[in-house]
Chains A and B, each alone.
Chain A
């Protein structure tokens, strides 16, 4: 239909209105139509515009049209226009063009001024699939002389089963503003939504600032969440996170509807705190609002982490006020924008999680394949503990030793002593070189004594080049400087049918294994070599009677 059939012009009010039809028109088509009728000798029908009327529109480009002399469209009419901007009311009202590059069918949402904008475009409008364009429409970005949230918008797609993505425009410009969004089937998100909806055992056990010792180093790392994936796989967990933030999800996370929850956008160094901040609460400052997701101390915080909702981030010395607590603090110079992830939890590899910034999971729910990033944006993963097992043993009869292999024998000179051991109460054994990382945190070593015997010593810990052993008298049978020393990963009389040790796998290590039973029912000595690899090892001793 010609545009004139669908639109009307009221010369008295300047109202340009969509009156019928479902066709949409570009802004240049609107302009051309207005100019077309405006140069008519006299108007007809409901297009009350002709040469006697003031000029209705001006074209800056084909994508920037200004309605002048009081001519105007309303929001409803704007929904039938696309491919550019309409400026009116002497610039007090602006509809900017939004052009979305995405795969066809993508359901788009626009977050504007902290909420979802009225959505009339859904899975596509004025698409141009050949050029990868899924949507083209106008969005009001300025009203009554004031920019709507500084004309900032975020385009999001959070369609369950598909990749989530978002694209931020920090202030639309006149013409078309591009949103480029990824929209593809998410192979790690193939579980039916209804199914995932039932996985309510996945919970966030701790909102706000909390510490988790992810890497098992007895020192906590800090996150703004601590999710418990219960017995679900890590991918299940991932799908649940997507579910909680999918399109249409109004259940809140951290006080924000799931469908617009994005995670931490800014880390803010603060000082001069007053009062007690809630663990999570809304905050505001001159020029913006946000949702605080974490603060490192409710009363004496030095950092807080927020999701920016409206406006611009606070700047140095701006006062931040808690919305519910009333607590305040000042920005202390540094505001760091953090990269958000879509979904907010991070990425699933199917078997592991690559967590988003600050996103925390219970340490017990992590594996060494998982990676998380604490609020300092430092990556952490749990250690790769592997087990070396020698089975086929007879408890109480078989003595087992597992030591580093050196050509089919024990590598006696795995270390050499760095200093003779001569004291009567030696607790530290210092070796030359560094003790390898795959050394069990506690275990046994053997040291060549002056009498030629490699004596067994239990160590309780090690660090660097030093093993800590229980107090031992070396004064009468000391160990010379440079004496051989080696780790025995298992060095004991079997107390069950198998013995094992646990160590952090870092690289394959060749092991020498020896099993002997010289007792009542002796066996031939069993010796073998194996490798402590990424899966540890498991060796079954062959007990051949030596009777």
Chain B
């Protein structure tokens, strides 16, 4: 017997000169087809395959498992040719699964013909025949030695193709067990969501014995896909056991349980049917050697005790498969497209009685080519701070589609994250990303991340030890966007917070729950977002939470943080808002129902905070307020806070000091205030010294498309008589010192309003805002035209955007136009009410993601 070299297409069964463990070399573009269970043939397990030029094809697509009865004659043997369909179709026996010549089960590979055997056929080899009772997809096992197959370049192709093998049917009972057609490691099974739904979920394996490191109990998992649905299987055993209706989940009654029908494992010549369960990575068969450039196509395969390496392949396409062991940095330097669809990666875990060795996290690195991963599941973890279940490092351009689930396997809840990232950019999670048991930790260089729908949480019976977990713990990251968020079904939150942003920039977090269905913090979360370091340009939008732990400060920040927008978010109504953040707008939030400057209201002692001035908020389902913090307005509010008389000053401690009679400041809210239905018949509230006695407060309102009302005293009678539109109105407050005093100080201010949740919900602040600016100039002089009427509306749709007069700079603008998609707009500019008159000038264009800015030149009309 000897190693074999093929140069023409060959079926492995025909390479009769090769013995178990011997090698094959493929040259000249030859294809080696393996469609038998080779260790059951005289050829034995595979040694090394060197594919210099050609293809290795392990083909499970023609494998059928046949149950027969009524047989007579001498039972066929493995390798025998048998026929059915009256002899028109034929195949070869690749395994005698059970039984005898009268009744039993065998597995065959169809070779000739196009008719699959069915229960109306008789199967025979001439000497033996039997009636076929049933036929299903058969199971094809391929064992190899501890070899790294060789494929030096892209002339080599590894192709594994298969089908779904139904391993059992759910009973709906707790702790159901099924028998697998192998005794290696089944990393994942696909369980139908119900009898006949034909919709499958990936259930993954968990450790199956007591462990102090890994979760090994069904009770440590939930029963929903997002929080559980797992099984246990001990290496070396063909028994697979599901959990219960309270932990881990149990397959529904009648639900099919299926697995990929091609099974790869590592054995030895000496014990060719016993898979190697080594504690060292290097002791496993690795059909895709590191640093090859071969072409990889994997379909319906379970890499049982086989290492996966996709390092520098010439592209890989993987579907309906599951994997366990992986080499370090298993997906690396693939600069050709890698696509995966419906794939599970279930990391082995240290188990004293049956698990595979602990390995590294599934690490994707050094990839610049496009990677698209659809409906993938990642389960694992490394007890260190350098990796998670999935580790992305020094890479770019990866897109996750469908439902991506990343679950942490280890019990160290404080330091382990489901996903860890360093220097990884352009990471897109379209569809759902489920983070179970840990969040994402990312460090500098991890930029341009997107989550369409992020779900996060702990299984219900966990989370007792964690203290430091966040859903997102980002440091030095830039441009992250989360478009939706929820707690994993059946899960719970950590006890610290959700989003920790340190030295980050351009972060958008939005859409958690709804105003009428807030996400229950379980009295665990102590903050929703915490800003630290030099963090800037963060938007928190529509993050609706309730039942936050106590009256904590739900939006934490320090004055090294700037440009923060918190809108339409909620904590507990009595949560304190501590806005020690620069240049921050907080609007439409549910919080701070307590008194000003109290621990359940707005913190007033802001130190050296600049540009955080305006806010509006809701203190119950029916009440709200417009408020001011008297921090220095800074450049961002230079136009919004106007000193109109005297020398008012801000003392850097959140106080407005107007100590000379006549000092006057006008505060104009720089945005359209939404969600408030009326002003309460209540006095304006404020804190400070002589804040009410030595000052007068007047207000002016401008409805959408209207003009500013005359100044009126800001008392309950006047305010409550105003009609305001919850769709929005502009508001300004004029504060005048009426009595000179060296102790005058105003700290914090609120004007109470009414509201309803419906009105709020119908009038949320837009998620994406872009500037829409119309500048109107005289065509002859290029000078601004003041008091020209600018009208702008969408077309089609006729949704009004502007109906306003230009200011002294000739400008009408909305710096916060709600952008959802490119929108065509039309409009016009007119000035016909007073001289100088101008001809109407049209406006036409498109509001893009960059906004819409146009200069309109008016032609005199006189």
Q: Which of B2-10, B94-102, B626-634, B828-836 contacts A (4 or more CB under 8 A)?
A: B828-836
* B793/A41 in contact, CB under 8 A: no
A39 and B861 alpha carbons, distance in the complex (Å): 14
Q: How far is the CB of B444 from chain A (nearest CB, A)?
A: 51
A39-B832, A42-B705 known; A59+B839 contact, CB < 8 A? yes
Interface check B837, CB cutoff 8 A: yes
Q: Assess whether B831 is in contact with A39, with CB atoms less than 8 Å apart.
A: yes
- B840: interface (CB < 8 Å): yes
A32-B837 contact given A42-B705, A52-B803, CB 8 Å threshold: yes
Within the complex, what minimum Cβ distance (angstroms) separates B860 from chain A?
10
Query: How many whole Å from B1's CB to the nearest CB in chain A?
Result: 91
Task: Confirm or deny: A353 has a beta carbon within 8 angstroms of a beta carbon on chain B.
Answer: no
User: Do the beta carbons of B837 and A41 come within 8 Å of each other?
Assistant: no
CB atoms of A39 and B789 under 8 A apart: yes
Interchain nearest-CB distance for A28 vs B (Å) = 9
User: For the complex, what is the distance from the CA of A32 to the CA of B832, rounded to whole Å?
Assistant: 6
Closest residue of chain A to B861, judged by CB? A59
In the complex, whether B706 has a CB less than 8 A from a CB of chain A is: yes
Task: Identify which of A37, A41, A51, A58 contacts B707 (C-beta below 8 A).
Answer: A41
Q: Is the CB of A35 within 8 A of B833?
A: yes
* B793, B803, B840: the one within 8 Å of A55 (CB): B840
How far is it, in angstroms, between the C-alpha of A37 and the C-alpha of B831 when the chains are bound?
A: 10
CA distance A489 to B206 in the complex (A): 161
CA distance A36 to B833 in the complex (A): 4
Complex interface: chain B residues within 8 A of A38 (CB): 830, 832, 840
A51 touching B839 in the complex, CB below 8 Å, given contacts A41-B706, A59-B861: no
Chain B: minimal CB distance from A83 (Å): 15
SS class, residues of chain B in contact with chain A: strand
Q: How far is the CA of A34 from the CA of B837 in the complex (A)?
A: 12
Residue-wise, chain A 34-75 has the 8 Å CB interface mask toward B (1 for contact) of 111111111000000001100100110010000000000000
Question: Is the pair B837, A51 in contact by a Cβ cutoff of 8 Å?
Answer: no
Q: Considering the complex, which residues of chain A in the window 58-98 have a beta carbon less than 8 Å from any beta carbon of chain B?
A: 58-59, 62
Known: A51-B789, A59-B839. A41 touches B803 (CB 8 A): yes
Contacts of B231 in A (CB 8 A): none
For residue A52, which residue of chain B has the nearest CB? B791
The interface residues of chain B lying within 8 Å CB-to-CB of A39 are 788-789, 830-833
Q: Which residues of B contact A42 (CB under 8 A)?
A: 705, 803
Task: For the complex, give the distance between the alpha carbons of A289 and B370 in Å.
Answer: 85
Is residue B800 contacting chain A, with contact meaning CB distance below 8 A? Answer: yes
Determine the distance from Cα of A59 to Cα of B862 in the docked complex, in whole angstroms. 8
Size of chain B's interface in residues, with CB distance under 8 A?
21
Alpha-carbon distance between A58 and B793 when the two chains are bound, in angstroms: 22
CB distance from A65 to the nearest CB of B (A): 11
Whole-angstrom distance between the alpha carbons of A40 and B861 in the complex? 17
Chain B positions 695 through 726: 1 when the CB is less than 8 Å from some CB of chain A, otherwise 0: 00000000001110000000000000000000
Give B803-848 interface residues, CB cut-off 8 Å to A.
803-804, 828, 830-833, 837, 839-840
Query: Contacts A35-B837, A35-B861, A41-B803 given: A55-B830 contact, CB under 8 Å?
Result: yes
Closest to B705 in A: A41
Residues of B within 8 A of A40 (CB): 789, 833
Give min CB distance, B177 to chain A, whole Å.
72
Specify which of A36, A51, A62 is in contact with B828 (CB 8 Å cutoff): A51
> Across the interface, which residues of A come within 8 angstroms of B803, CB to CB?
41-42, 51-52
- Cross-interface CB contact of A52 among B788, B800, B831, B833, cutoff 8 Å: B800
Chain B residues lying within 8 Å of A62, measured Cβ to Cβ, are 862
B788: chain A residues at CB < 8 Å are 39
Q: Separation in Å of the A452 CB from the closest CB of chain B?
A: 101
User: How far is the CB of A449 from the nearest CB of chain B, in Å?
Assistant: 98
A residues 13-41 in Cβ contact with B at 8 Å: 32, 34-41
Cα distance A34–B861 in the bound complex, in angstroms: 13
Residues A51 and B791 in contact, CB atoms below 8 Å apart: yes
CA distance A34 to B705 in the complex (A): 19
Cβ-defined contact, A58 with B839, below 8 A: yes
Measured between alpha carbons, how far is A42 from B828 in the docked complex, in Å?
14
Q: With a CB–CB cut-off of 8 A, which chain A residues contact B789?
A: 39-41, 51
Interface centre among A37, A41, A51 (most CB of B within 10 A): A51
- B793's contact among A37, A52, A59, by CB below 8 Å, is which? A52
Chain B residues lying within 8 Å of A58, measured Cβ to Cβ, are 839-840
Chain B, residues 851-862, CB within 8 Å of chain A (1/0): the string is: 000000000011
Residues of B within 8 A of A36 (CB): 832-833
A51-B828, A55-B830, A59-B839 given; 12 more Cβ-contact pairs under 8 Å: A32-B832, A35-B833, A36-B832, A39-B832, A41-B706, A41-B707, A41-B804, A42-B705, A42-B803, A51-B803, A51-B830, A55-B828
Instruction: Enumerate chain A interface residues (CB-CB to B < 8 A).
Output: 32, 34-42, 51-52, 55, 58-59, 62
Subset of 15 A-B contacts with CB under 8 Å: A35-B831, A35-B832, A35-B861, A36-B833, A38-B830, A38-B840, A41-B707, A41-B803, A42-B705, A51-B828, A52-B793, A55-B828, A55-B840, A58-B839, A58-B840
Across chains A and B, which 8 residue pairs bring their CB atoms closest together, nearest first?
A: A35-B832, A39-B789, A39-B830, A51-B791, A55-B840, A36-B833, A39-B832, A51-B789
